[in-house]
């Protein structure tokens, strides 16, 4: 699966999947100003834009191609849309296209692998309310890196967006190995104890299943760096309890990671994870590595990485992407050619957030 809308030149999304010629964009009364950059690009790049007269009027400043007003009911326009198959077509809709019917109608005629659906952020909460959803029900598990880092209360705009616009409850655990709870706790995941941290995530999934206000059938796991490893390991061990996962700059194979990370970090990381030059430890690290167990990842995966990452080399991303796909798994892959460990440049971070949000919305559908 690929993220096909235009991205900054430095970004190189994977192009293995079918081209997505059809975009369905939700537009609210706030018009172009309420649309994301991806939505604006989809409208501007379309050869033909379909929509109601009100929709076309709202989007007029962005439209460069031909326009066609669709009839009511919309079902009769599906045949006309299909006549443009293979060419960039944009269909404008109210709010969340699937919730208001347009996307659902087109999905009966067009495979979902050929379309991109972008709800209007301003209307998503209203759509969910009309369906009777309790917005905090879907869960995103956010796993920190380090491993010795620690989640503490603070303002995070991205978390606010996921909660208030996408309707996720965000849970950020400090699994064993985190700092802030004493040296003994911080050492509980060292070396051969590594998988105990993954078991903490498994215990959290059990807890989520016992909460009446959380939907255990809609849980997504995400993390960066070491948190990316935890994300992959959680997918390996608990795919049946998850909807999908987001791996950002994560470790896929401890042996290749320790071999290829920047020399100044190698000995420090060996103290944490174990020395891959020791045959017994090497065998253990290989056994627990996500790339070794990629066939157990049975849920959609988004992999995000920087090509120039000196800490977790891009080969880690390439390994897990190739291995999961070879086993028939669904992977979105976003690679920034001008980034290192994490995305720092605004245009790249914007593209990352857009991709992340679209991935989450796909999992909700």
Among 225, 239, 256, 289, the one annotated catalytic: 225
Instruction: Render pLDDT for 352-363 as a digit per residue (tens, 0 to 9).
Output: 998 898 888 888
Q: 92 falls in which pLDDT band (50, 70, 90)?
A: confident
Token code pair at residue 57 = 């009027």
Is 122 catalytic? The answer is no
What confidence tier does 124 reach under pLDDT thresholds 50, 70, 90? low
Mean pLDDT of all residues in 229-239: 96
Q: What is the distance between the alpha carbons of residues 272 and 119, in angstroms, rounded to a whole number?
A: 43
Locate all alpha helices (DSSP H) within the chain, ordered by sequence. 37-45, 53-59, 78-82, 102-107, 121-130, 157-164, 183-186, 194-209, 226-238, 254-260, 263-273, 279-288, 315-326, 346-364
Mark whether 341 is an active-site residue.
yes
Strand order in the sheet with 138-143: 168-171, 138-143, 219-224, 244-248, 301-306, 331-336
> What superfamily does domain 22-130 belong to in CATH?
Tetrapyrrole methylase, N-terminal domain (3.40.1010.10)
pLDDT at 14: 42
Q: What percent of the chain has pLDDT over 90?
A: 50
Give the gyration radius of the chain's Cα atoms: 22
Eight-class DSSP state of 340:
B
Let me know: does 22 contact 102? Beta carbons within 8 Å: no
Instruction: Give the CATH architecture of domain 138-364.
Output: 3-Layer(aba) Sandwich (3.40)
Say what the pTM is. Answer: 0.66
Question: Domains of the chain: which residue ranges?
Answer: 22-130, 138-364
Strand order in the sheet with 66-69: 66-69, 48-51, 89-94, 22-27, 115-118
Maximum pairwise Cα distance, the chain: 70
| Cα 275 from Cα 278, distance rounded (Å) | 6
365 pLDDT band (50/70/90 cuts)? low
In this predicted model, what pLDDT tens digit does every residue of 34-49 receive, in sequence order? 788 888 899 999 999 9
């Amino acid at each position: 699966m690929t993220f096909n809308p235009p991205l900054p030149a430095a970004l190189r999304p994977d192009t293995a999947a079918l081209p997505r010629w059809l975009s369905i964009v939700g537009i609210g009364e706030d018009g172009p100003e309420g649309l994301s950059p991806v939505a604006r690009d989809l409208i501007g790049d379309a050869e033909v834009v379909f929509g109601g007269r009100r929709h076309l009027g709202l989007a007029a400043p962005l439209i460069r191609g031909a326009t066609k007003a669709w009839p009511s009911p919309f079902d009769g326009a599906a045949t006309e849309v299909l006549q443009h198959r293979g060419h960039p077509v944009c269909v404008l809709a109210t709010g969340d296209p699937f919730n208001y019917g347009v996307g659902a109608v087109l999905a009966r005629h067009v495979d979902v692998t050929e379309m991109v659906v972008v709800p209007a952020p301003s209307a998503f909460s209203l759509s969910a309310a009309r369906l009777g959803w309790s917005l905090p029900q879907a869960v995103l598990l956010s796993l920190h890196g380090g491993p010795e880092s620690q989640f503490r209360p603070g303002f995070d705009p991205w978390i606010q967006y996921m909660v208030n616009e996408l309707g996720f409850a965000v849970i950020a655990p400090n699994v064993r190995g985190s700092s802030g709870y004493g040296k003994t706790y911080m050492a509980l995941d060292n070396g051969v104890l590594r998988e105990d941290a993954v078991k903490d995530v498994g215990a959290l999934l059990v807890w989520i299943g016992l909460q009446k206000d959380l939907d255990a059938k809609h849980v997504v796991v995400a993390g960066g760096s070491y948190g990316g490893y935890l994300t992959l390991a959680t997918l390996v061990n608990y795919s049946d309890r998850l909807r999908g996962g987001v791996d950002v700059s994560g470790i896929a194979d401890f042996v290749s990671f320790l071999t290829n990370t920047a020399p100044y970090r190698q000995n420090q990381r060996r103290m944490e994870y174990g020395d891959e030059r020791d045959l017994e430890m090497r065998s253990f690290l290989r056994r627990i590595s996500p790339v070794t167990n990629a066939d157990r990842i049975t849920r959609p995966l988004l992999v995000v990485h920087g090509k120039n990452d000196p800490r977790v080399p891009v080969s880690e991303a390439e390994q897990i992407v190739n291995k999961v796909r070879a086993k028939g798994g669904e992977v979105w892959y976003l690679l920034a050619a001008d980034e290192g460990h994490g995305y720092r440049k605004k245009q790249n971070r914007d593209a990352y957030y857009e991709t992340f949000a679209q991935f989450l919305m796909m999992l909700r559908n």
